[in-house]
Amino acid sequence: MKSFLRSFLASLLAVLVVLLVIVGILAFKISRSDSPPDVKEHTWLVIDLYGGIDEYDPPADIMTEIMGGKPETLTRILGNLEKACVDDDIEGVIFKMSATNGAGLAMLEEIRGGIKKVRQSGKKVYGYSDSMNRKLYYLAASCDSIFMPVTGYIHFAGMATVTQHIKGTLDKLGINPNLHKIKDFKSAAEMVIRKDMSESSRRNKEWMIEEIWDMYCQALEEDRGLTKERVVEAMNRAEFMVEEAVEFGLIDRALYWDEIEEMLKLEKDKKLRTVCSGGYAKIEPGKLGLKGKKKIAVIHAQGMIGGRRNKVDPLLGLMMGHESIVAEFRRACRDKDIAAVVFRVDSGGGEALTSDMIGHAVEVTAKEKPVVVSMVDVAASGGYHIAYRATKIMADPMTITGSIGSISMKFNMSGFYEKLGITHDFVEKGPHAMMMSDLRDFTREEREIFERNHWDGFNHWLRDVCERRGMTFEEGEKLAHGRVWTGRQAKNNGLVDELGGLDRAIELAKELAEIPAEEKVSVVHYPVKKDLLETLMGGGGSFTAAARYLVYRFIREDLAETWNLVTDQKLYLVNDQVVD
């Protein structure tokens, strides 16, 4: 027995030692990687836009860095471009791009703004892409020159918006949605109640696509001299070989990456001096004179709205919870050094209760300090709900916003249960005990109660929006009931106050806080990123969050990349195998 215990304790001790060694190696790795790089003069900043881009770091990003690479973010890109403008050691910027890029048009618009500032500072910005599509070209066009390898893919087609409908699937499964939507333009509900888009939904999408088309063509004419007629001509061709694209004027030269390096490197150097986006992000803005005594807090809210805590759902992706976001507002409100708050919103909506609780925190903070909302790709429905009580609302011209409407429903699953052979029985006491049960539809009386309550809640929200935006209720109704707008349209109809990105939102926050325009401020981002030790000490939740994010990223990026390869690219096949 004693021999067994000694062996057991020795084995346990060995396991603990191994675990400590692993943690030590990881800690050493992270500490080494957290050290800022030694950027020499004539260095080129290389930003790789491949795959999905989040607005801000996802939860547990330290662990995802260990287990698969840290994702690029819009916040990091904009921060790096701001530093590149004033860093004498940075010669210029090179964007490595791919059509697999998952950023929305508003994100691309903000990056375009950062590129223009770098160019205005007298530095070159080049774009290099292995595959190009019409959407990515919107970003590439803002660079000084665009390069592609001679075998690169170019797909330059027109714009389309596609809706997905699963009503036929639900019918086959025996699932009946009991749904009420407010109102005609709330097209998200049509996924489960129609097999095609309604006339209202089609009209809304038509005015949106017309607006985006106009802004897109205007940008390409300013950046590349491509008139609207020339853009349509390119779309008529749709597919280009790289040499044809050079001749047409879409891109500038056919070059491989090593040829770009050879072109840009110093004669005395064997290779091009570069620094990656992740490394350059570790250089503190204060070292480049981009820091002041007063602070502006930037609170990031991204993903679907629902629940209490920020998290990553493997299927739904990034999610924001009210306790997490409210805690950041309270922190910013208590910090006397923070003069104002910029609230970055990138969300297509979610739960009404969670949205209202976040919106209340915005209102409470705005009574103490200016709060400027800065909308990113999407700030609609619940995304607008959490924003409208701020001191000022800003949106990018390409932001999707509005959708002031509501959907409420339950599913009658009885037909589905029957197909599976599942039966139920029940005992009830008191009126409407089974009203929200998934075993039956609403009765007529229950439907009336359900819809009346839904309308009461919505009208309360709309009245509040109208009061704060200086509209009558009738004027507000003409903008609501699910109607969706671009940021430019929302500025014209009064749903937002000003157009611009994060840089302009910070400027506006300074103005509202009565900080002189020439005075520099320090920008602090919330949620604050945890280091490795904090993550490890946080318990299993941190590892769970990391695992969730890895699954989500696999679904969103890795599988999407494979699907893109199979469906959109030209393939050489040998015995049914894909050959690079």
* Mean pLDDT on 428-455: 95
Q: Identify the band that residue 14 occupies on the pLDDT scale cut at 50, 70 and 90.
A: low
Question: Whole-angstrom Cα distance, residue 224 to residue 216?
Answer: 12
In terms of domains, do 110 and 222 share one?
A: yes
- Residue where one domain finishes, among candidates 280, 313, 347: 280
Query: Which residues touch 359 (CB under 8 Å, ≥6 apart)?
Result: 385, 386, 387, 388, 389
Residues 87 and 132 in one domain: yes
With vertex at residue 204, the alpha carbon angle to CA 200 and CA 205, rounded to the nearest 5 degrees, is 120
Predicted confidence at residue 521, as pLDDT, reads 95
Evaluate whether residue 412 is within a structural domain: no
Does pLDDT of 504 surpass 70? yes
Q: Measuring CA to CA, which residue among 102, 154, 157, 93 is closest to residue 121?
A: 93
pLDDT digit string, tens, across residues 52-87: 789 998 765 444 454 445 678 999 999 999 999 999
Structure tokens at 426: 């029940």
d(CA 213, CA 207): 10
Domain with 85 in it: 30-162+199-280
Residue 220 sits at φ, ψ, to 5 deg, of: -70, -30
Do the beta carbons of residue 453 and residue 341 sit within 8 Å? no
**If pLDDT is split at 50, 70 and 90, which confidence band does 556 have?**
low
pLDDT at 317: 81
**Helical pair 502-512 and 74-86, crossing angle rounded to 10 deg:** 80
Q: Measured between alpha carbons, how far is 474 from 492 in angstroms, rounded to an integer? A: 17
pLDDT at 270: 92
Domain count for the chain, please give it: 3
Q: How far apart are CA 414 and CA 571, in angstroms?
A: 46
Q: Is 238 left (phi over 0), alpha (psi -120 to 50) or beta?
A: left
Alpha-carbon gap, residue 532 to 529, rounded angstroms: 10
Q: What residues are paired with 156 via a beta bridge?
A: 238
By C-alpha distance, which of 21, 53, 146, 60 is closest to 377? 53
pLDDT at 573: 44
In angstroms, the CA 8 to CA 123 distance is: 65
Residues 521 and 478 placed together within one structural domain of the fold: yes
Instruction: Calculate mean pLDDT across residues 159-184.
Output: 94
Verify that 365 and 482 share a domain, yes or no.
Answer: yes
Q: Which of 477, 474, 490 is nearest to 393 (CA)?
A: 490
Angle at 331 between CA 325 and CA 333, to 5 degrees: 105
Report if residue 60 sits inside a domain.
yes
Residue 195, C-beta contacts closer than 8 angstroms, at least 6 positions apart: 165, 167, 168
Instruction: Read off the tokens for 8.
Output: 């057991």
Give the DSSP letter of residue 393: E
- Above 50 in pLDDT, residue 567? no
Q: How far apart are CA 309 and CA 539, in angstroms?
A: 16
Of residues 7 and 372, more confidently modeled? 372
Phi, psi of 536 (to 5 degrees): -65, -40
pLDDT at 23 over 70: no
Q: Are strands 145-148 and 124-129 parallel, antiparallel or unpaired?
A: parallel
The confidence score (pLDDT) of residue 244 equals 96
Q: Where are the alpha helices (DSSP H) in 238-284?
A: 242-248, 257-264, 277-280
If residue 215 lies in a helix (H) or strand (E), which one and from where to where?
A: helix 199-224
Mark whether 101 and 216 lie in a shared domain: yes
Q: How far apart are CA 172 and CA 328, in angstroms?
A: 46
- End position of a domain, from candidates 257, 280, 303: 280
The enclosing domain of 318 has a CATH number of: 3.90.226.10
Task: State pLDDT tens for residues 218-232.
Answer: 999 999 999 999 999
- What are the backbone dihedrals phi and psi of residue 498, each rounded to the nearest 5 degrees, phi first? -155, 155
pLDDT of residue 538: 47
Lowest-confidence pick of 259-273, 340-354, 383-397, 565-579: 565-579
Tell me what pLDDT residue 554 has: 59
Residues 373, 507, single domain; the answer is yes
Residue 12 pLDDT > 80, yes or no? no
Task: Determine the pLDDT at residue 531.
Answer: 53
* In-domain check, residue 429: no
pLDDT at residue 17, rounded to an integer: 53
540 and 524 within one domain: no
Which of the two residues, 181 and 313, has the higher pLDDT score?
181
C-alpha 190/C-alpha 197 separation (Å) is 7
Q: What are phi and psi of 394, to 5 degrees?
A: -120, 150
Cα(537)–Cα(535) distance, integer angstroms: 5
Question: What is the H or E stretch that residue 545 is in?
Answer: helix 540-553
Residues 245 and 304 placed together within one structural domain of the fold: no
Is the Cβ–Cβ distance between 127 and 145 less than 8 Å?
A: yes
Regarding whether 320 and 261 lie in a shared domain, the answer is no
Residue 375 in domain? yes
Indicate whether 434 pLDDT > 70: yes
Same domain, 305 and 238: no
Assess if residue 19 is contained within a domain.
Answer: no
> Is 410 a domain residue?
no
- Please compute Rg for the chain using Cα positions: 26
Peptide bond into 397 cis (omega under 30): no
pLDDT one-digit tens code per residue, 327-378: 999 999 999 999 999 999 999 999 999 999 999 999 999 999 999 999 999 9
- Any domain includes 18: no
Q: Do 35 and 151 sit in the same domain of this protein? A: yes
Say if residues 320 and 303 touch (Cβ distance below 8 Å): yes
Q: Model confidence at 456, in pLDDT bands (50, 70, 90)? A: very high
User: Which parts of 393-441 fold into alpha helices (H)?
Assistant: 414-420
Quick one: 137 and 244 in the same domain?
yes
Q: What is the pLDDT of residue 99?
A: 84
Contact 319, 310 (CB under 8 A): yes
The residues pairing with 375 across neighbouring beta strands, listed in sequence order, are 345
Amino acid identity at 453: N
Q: Please, which pLDDT band fits residue 165 given cuts at 50, 70 and 90?
A: very high
Answer whether residue 174 is part of any domain. Answer: no
Residue of 152, 50, 62, 42 lying closest to 569 (CA atoms) = 152
Summary mean pLDDT of the chain: 87
Q: How confident is the model at residue 407 (pLDDT cuts 50, 70, 90)?
A: very high
